[in-house]
């Protein structure tokens, strides 16, 4: 503990962002960096608790956003090292548990901060910002260099999917000396990191591709434009490799099967976000090969990070109006009694997309407790409006909460573009069915967390394909865990953490 009184002397501070209206003019990341002196003060706020909850993930039953860091980052240690100005040592501690802190430091919602002991009665330590500052400084200083294994085992592993779980798994297995080949159906490596998260949150060239290039230099082989189960039979991987790890994600989106759903102009959020980023990277949008929100009335149905990303992307296109519908109630300003520390704080917050919408149009775009009843189109089959009703949540005869429409609250909203951001319902079927992998009740690959073994010999599963829609940090947790168990399977023992 660098400064015993630091948490009493210094207030929580974050780096400034570019103004919302300014950043709407480009697709660049909008967070600035703080000076090393200011970062030292923020590190000094860490109390080095006797029992720190920040770095022990899922210590309470609170779903995927449970308490603490799922990859067990050594948070108090590198907070102290930053306070002391020992940045290279802080980087070494950070990389012991996290393969990609430049990703989590940008896009993770930071359950660690929700479990910070200081956060019981004060603003928590700025863990997420310290994390990304450590890794960005490490790259700037040239400390992050390829580190290929000193020897090879002769064992081969195929990883299906190059999202955070697949990349973490590949990185760990490669470090153990196995020859790893990662298959990706898209034209670029990164999965969700490349095409599911907009560039202004996670820069593709400067951040994602940089890490991919580093992994390639360490010996990981990447194969793009190749869909397993279509371009290459899944069984061929089982036959040709010593082990296979399925990290294909949970990419089946939840739909909204109501009247008018087949109208043109209604899209799944990921189709909208993926095409936008690909066009941006291919041609700076010059090819026009994306779904444009320009001069359209846009409605985003659903909240969460994906809904926010749809808002930010639509604003950068130059939408005419923007509305976001959430069927759940507006979260409280402070923790509710049934949401105590160290659980993830379910409180009202304004994310970057809503902040930008308020700057552009004057108000938060969200409407809570609202349900879409039908879509209405024009004579050419294009969506032109939505019909909604406000709802309240009430228990049915079985005691389950269900949405109940409130009479007299019906409303018609103009809309030429509707984006469905209502989450995901599981992995795609192709590979799992071809290999006859057993599924759980939610259609995910059946594999116990900590073991990651499927019903098929030599085939493992990790990430959203195994656990369902989750966080990037949980994907890294699972990728690392699966790598450890694959190494044990191949070698009879393992030294992987």
Domain boundaries, the chain: 6-140, 156-251+425-491, 266-420
Structural contact between residues 208 and 202, judged by C-beta atoms closer than 8 angstroms:
yes
Report how far Cα 245 is from the mean position of its chain's Cα atoms: 20
Residue range 72-77: mean pLDDT, rounded = 94
Q: Which CATH number fits domain 156-251+425-491: 3.40.50.720, 3.90.1720.10, 3.20.19.10, 3.50.50.60?
A: 3.50.50.60
Averaged pLDDT, 463-476: 95
Quickly state the pLDDT bin for 344 (edges 50, 70, 90). Answer: confident
Q: Find out whether 177 and 234 touch, Cβ atoms under 8 Å.
A: no
Contact 437, 456 (CB under 8 A): yes
d(CA 204, CA 190): 9
- Cα angle: 244, vertex 249, 253; to 5 degrees: 150
Q: Band the pLDDT of 1: cuts 50, 70, 90.
A: low
Q: Which helix (H) or strand (E) holds 272?
A: helix 269-283
Q: Which helix (H) or strand (E) holds 474?
A: helix 472-491
User: Tell me: the pLDDT tens digits for 4-15?
Assistant: 899 999 999 999
Tokens 């209206």 correspond to what residue? 21
Would you give the distance in Å from CA 118 to the centre of its chain? 26
Calpha distance 345→358 (Å, rounded): 23
How high is the mean pLDDT of the chain?
Answer: 95
Check if the beta carbon of residue 2 is closer than 8 Å to that of residue 84.
yes
Asked whether the predicted pLDDT for residue 122 surpasses 80, the reply is yes
Q: What pLDDT is stored for residue 63 in this prediction?
A: 45
**To which CATH superfamily is domain 266-420 assigned?**
FAD/NAD(P)-binding domain (3.50.50.60)
Mean pLDDT in residue range 334-346: 90
Q: What sign has the CA pseudo-torsion 104, 105, 109, 111?
A: positive
Q: Is the pLDDT of residue 61 over 70?
A: no
Contact 411, 404 (CB under 8 A): no
SS3 156: strand
Residues 286-297, mean pLDDT to the nearest whole number:
98
Q: CA 358 from chain center: how many Å? A: 24
The CA-atom distances, in angstroms, between 221 and each of 207, 227, 277 are: 19, 16, 24
- Distance (Å, whole) CA 321 – CA 31: 25
Is residue 193 within 8 A of residue 165, CB to CB? The reply is: no
What pLDDT is recorded for position 67?
78
- Which tokens sit at 387? 């019909």
Name the pairing type of β-strands 383-395 and 370-377. antiparallel
pTM of the model as a whole: 0.95
pLDDT band of residue 56 (cuts 50, 70, 90) is: confident
Band of residue 66 on the pLDDT scale cut at 50, 70, 90: low
Q: Prior bond to 342 cis, omega within 30?
A: yes
| Res 60: pLDDT | 53
User: How, if at all, do strands 383-395 and 411-414 pair?
Assistant: antiparallel
| R_g over Cα of the chain | 23
Tell me the backbone φ, ψ of residue 229, rounded to 5 degrees: 95, -10
Give the separation between CA 226 and CA 433, rounded to whole angstroms: 18
Among 53-57, 163-167, 245-249, 316-320, where is mean pLDDT lowest?
53-57
Task: Name the one residue in this structure whose structure tokens are 């109501």.
Answer: 258
Q: How far is CA 314 from CA 28, 98, 203, 309, 458, in A?
A: 15, 33, 18, 8, 44
Three-class secondary structure assignment of 24-44: CCCCCCCECCCCHHHHHHHHH
Please give the structure tokens belonging to residue 306: 């994906």
Instruction: State pLDDT tens for residues 227-236.
Output: 999 999 999 9
Task: Please name the residue that has the structure tokens 């007299």.
Answer: 408
Residues 6+ away with beta carbon under 8 Å from 239: none
pLDDT digits (tens, 9 = 90+) for 411-425: 999 999 999 999 999
In 3D space, the residue among 110, 96, 102 whose CA is nearest the CA of residue 33 turns out to be: 102
Which among 289, 303, 282 has a CA at the least distance from the CA of 419? 303
For the chain, the distance separating the N- and C-terminal CA atoms, rounded to the nearest angstrom, is 26
Superfamily name with CATH number, domain 6-140: Alpha-helical ferredoxin (1.10.1060.10)
Compute the C-alpha angle 57/63/64, nearest 5°: 60
On whether the CB atoms of residues 198 and 313 are closer than 8 A, the answer is yes
Per-residue pLDDT band at 396 (split at 50, 70, 90): confident
Q: Which of 450, 374, 451 is nearest to 405 (CA)?
A: 374
Strand partners, 420: 268, 301
Domains 156-251+425-491 and 266-420 share a fold: yes
C-alpha 1/C-alpha 81 separation (Å) is: 9
The pLDDT confidence band at residue 293, using thresholds 50, 70 and 90, is: very high
pLDDT band at 62 (very low <50, low <70, confident <90, very high): very low
């Amino acid at each position: 503990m660098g400064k015993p009184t630091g948490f009493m002397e210094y207030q929580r501070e974050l780096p400034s962002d570019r103004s919302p209206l300014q950043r709407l003019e480009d697709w660049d990341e909008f967070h600035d960096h703080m000076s090393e002196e200011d970062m030292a003060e923020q590190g000094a706020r860490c109390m080095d608790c006797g029992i720190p909850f920040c770095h022990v993930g899922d210590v309470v039953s609170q779903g995927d956003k449970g308490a603490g860091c799922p990859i067990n980052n050594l948070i108090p240690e590198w907070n102290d090292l930053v306070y002391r100005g020992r940045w290279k040592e802080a980087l070494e501690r950070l990389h012991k548990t996290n393969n990609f802190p430049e990703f989590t430091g940008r896009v993770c919602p930071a359950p660690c901060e929700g479990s910070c002991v200081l956060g019981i009665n004060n603003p928590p330590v700025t863990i997420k910002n310290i994390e990304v500052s450590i890794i960005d400084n490490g790259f700037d200083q040239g400390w992050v260099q390829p580190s290929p294994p000193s020897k090879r085992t002769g064992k081969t592993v195929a990883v299906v999917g190059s999202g955070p779980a697949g990349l973490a798994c590949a990185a760990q297995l490669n470090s153990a000396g196995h020859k790893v080949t990662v298959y990706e159906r898209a034209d670029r490596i990164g999965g969700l990191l490349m095409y599911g998260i907009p560039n202004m949150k996670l820069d593709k060239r400067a951040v994602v591709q940089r890490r991919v290039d580093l992994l390639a230099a360490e010996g990981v082989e990447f194969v793009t434009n190749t869909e397993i189960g279509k371009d290459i039979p899944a069984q061929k991987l089982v036959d040709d490799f010593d082990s296979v790890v399925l990290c294909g994600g949970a990419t089946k989106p939840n739909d909204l099967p109501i009247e008018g759903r087949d109208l043109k102009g209604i899209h799944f959020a990921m189709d909208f976000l993926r095409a936008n980023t690909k066009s941006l990277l291919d041609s700076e949008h010059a090819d026009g090969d994306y779904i444009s929100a320009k001069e359209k009335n846009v409605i985003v149905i659903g909240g969460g990070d994906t809904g926010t990303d749809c808002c930010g992307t639509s604003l950068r296109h130059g939408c005419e109006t923007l509305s976001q519908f959430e069927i759940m109630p507006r979260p409280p300003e402070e923790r509710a009694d049934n949401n105590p520390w160290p659980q993830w704080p379910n409180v009202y917050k304004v994310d970057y997309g809503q902040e930008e919408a308020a700057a552009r149009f004057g108000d938060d775009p969200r409407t809570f407790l609202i349900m879409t009843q039908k879509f209405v189109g024009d004579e050419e089959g294009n969506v032109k409006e939505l019909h909604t009703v406000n709802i309240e949540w009430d228990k049915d005869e079985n005691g389950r909460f269900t949405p109940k429409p409130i009479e007299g609250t019906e409303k018609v909203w103009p809309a030429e573009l509707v984006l469905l951001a209502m989450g995901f319902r599981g992995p795609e079927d192709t590979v799992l069915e071809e290999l006859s992998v057993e599924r759980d009740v939610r259609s995910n690959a059946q594999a116990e967390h900590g073991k990651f073994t499927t019903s098929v010999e030599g085939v493992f599963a990790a990430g959203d394909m195994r656990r369902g829609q989750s966080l990037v940090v949980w994907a890294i947790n699972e990728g690392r865990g699966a790598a450890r168990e694959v190494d044990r399977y191949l070698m009879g023992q393992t030294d992987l953490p």
